Amino acid sequence: MKTTDKIRQQLEDNPIVLYMKGTPREPRCGFSAKAASVLQSTGVEFAYVDVLAAPAFMQALPEVSDFPTFPQLFIKGEVIGGSDIIEAMLASGELLPMLKDAAA
């Protein structure tokens, strides 16, 4: 199975996925730390993939998402964006309803 197919399968299997550097408990970049913190603050469960532990995913994900940087949040298979976008969406009130809808 190609890496892009594996990514698409993960997106199909998990309604909320954060592709990040490190893990939510041990992020390995400031942007990933911010994105994970924002998601954790909502109380909604999410899956994550450490792209540093899976370099093939780090290379292939921009091909799937057409989004060049990390972290990348996907909700229901659609790329939402990185840490600044996630933070802004939380502040505007857009993020939590999307997360709750996806988790339901």
pLDDT for 95 equals 96
DSSP string covering 28-77? SSHHHHHHHHHHHHHT---EEEETTT-HHHHHHHHHHHS--SS-EEEETT
pTM of the entire structure? 0.94
Check which CATH number belongs to the domain holding 24 and give it.
Answer: 3.40.30.10
Structural domain including 16 reads 3-103
What pLDDT digit, counting tens, does each position of 44-97 carry? 999 999 999 999 999 999 989 999 899 999 999 999 999 999 999 999 999 999
pLDDT for 1 equals 80
Question: CA-CA distance, 65 to 85, in Å (whole number)?
Answer: 15
pLDDT for 89 equals 96
Q: Domain count of the chain?
A: 1
Residue 92, sorted as left (phi over 0), alpha (psi -120 to 50) or beta, turns out to be alpha
What single DSSP character describes residue 22?
B
Q: Does 97 belong to an annotated binding site?
A: no
pLDDT for 16 equals 98
